Amino acid sequence: MRTPVIAGNWKMYLGQTEEALGFVRGIRQPLNEVDGVERVLCPPFTVLATVAEVLQATRIEVGAQTMHWEDQGAHTGEVSPRMLQDLCKYVIIGHSERRAAEANAETDAAVNKKVRAALAHGLIPILCVGENLAQNEAGQTEDFVGGQVRAALEGLGADEVRTCVIAYEPIWAIGTGKAATPADANRVMGVVVRGAVSQQFGEEAAQAARILYGGSVNVENIAGFMSMPEIDGALVGGASLKPDFVELVRRAAATRG
């Protein structure tokens, strides 16, 4: 009943017009033909409009990688929800690479404002949560991730939360080639993430919200994740930059179908 989502987070890659166009034109048709799973490409801002334009006549959706919470203002370098609302359907919020102190130091409070602003503008947030290695090894995963979910969704209504996408991305699994096991990811996503949503907003909203796994997902391991009941798709980094992203999406659809 929950339509799976496979979202490709390009991060700071493929941001030049010609390389982005070349890549998207190459995968557009076969990616468009896959049924049963929503596909989302999240390119850098420099090519967001260009990618959105070449995907216009397709069923492939576009997402941004971040945004500010205000509509406009003196915020040098920022992009607002109003600027994005006609350009894309999704927006990644609170990625661990932006929460990191040495990067953008995004706090739970800022993430909450962004989630609210996205929903208020008709954008679907892909809210990222996940523990680091030290927290994982110290047995703090449940408390930390549960806290991130509660803080990010604070003040929302159940009718809003049910439309959200939440990505569980353990930081130690991102870009390391060391993915979580499907069983471990499924447990955190069900017990901790969906559990926190259920506690705060009720079981109906918790069952409707889509929860993705992210962290070293590739064409070989996607089927294992998709066969788990709590895993509604994946947020894919490195493997979304290669043509076999299409095969990854096909396998995701085949596992669910």
Applying CB under 6 A, does 236 fall inside the site for ligand 13P? Answer: yes
Binding mask 11-50 for ligand 13P (x = CB under 6 A): ----------------------------------------
d(CA 235, CA 217): 8
DSSP type of residue 240: G
Q: Is 121 a catalytic residue?
A: no
- Residue 253 CA to residue 161 CA, distance in Å, equals 25
**With 0-12 CB in 10 A as exposed, 13-18 as middle and 19+ as buried, what is 247?**
middle
Tell whether residue 237 is a contact of ligand 13P (CB under 6 A). yes
d(CA 31, CA 220): 18
Catalytic residue among 61, 95, 106, 131: 95
Name the segment binding ligand 13P (CB under 6 A); options: 15-23, 115-123, 157-165, 208-216: 208-216
Q: Are the CB atoms for 186 and 231 separated by under 8 Å? A: yes
Q: In which element (H, E) is residue 6 found?
A: strand 5-9
Cβ atoms of 145 and 131 within 8 Å: the answer is yes
Q: Is the dihedral of CA 149, 63, 231, 203 positive or negative?
A: positive
Out of 63, 182, 215, 224, the residue judged to bind ligand 13P by CB under 6 A? 215
H or E segment to which residue 126 belongs? strand 124-129
Residue corresponding to tokens 């998709």: 226
Catalytic residue list contains 38: no
CB of 173 to ligand 13P, least distance (A): 6
Q: Give the whole-angstrom CA distance, residue 254 versus residue 63.
A: 24
Which of 217, 246, 249, 253 is close enough to bind ligand 13P by CB under 6 A? 217
| From 45-53, 102-110, 117-125, 214-222, span contacting ligand 13P (CB under 6 A) | 214-222
Shortest distance in whole angstroms from residue 12 CB to ligand 13P: 12
Q: Shortest Cβ distance from residue 101 to ligand 13P (Å)?
A: 17
Site for ligand 13P contains 174 (CB under 6 A): yes
Point out which span in 66-74, 115-123, 154-162, 167-175 binds ligand 13P (CB under 6 A).
167-175
Q: Which of 122, 175, 243, 257 binds ligand 13P (CB under 6 A)?
A: 175
3-state secondary structure of 189: helix
* Eight-state DSSP code of residue 193: I
Residue 223, both tokens: 């089927």
Among 4, 43, 63, 238, binds ligand 13P (CB under 6 A): 238
- The answer to whether 214 contacts ligand 13P (rule: CB under 6 A) is yes
Residues engaged in binding ligand 13P (CB under 6 A): 9, 95, 169, 174-175, 214-217, 235-239
Just list the catalytic residues: 95, 169
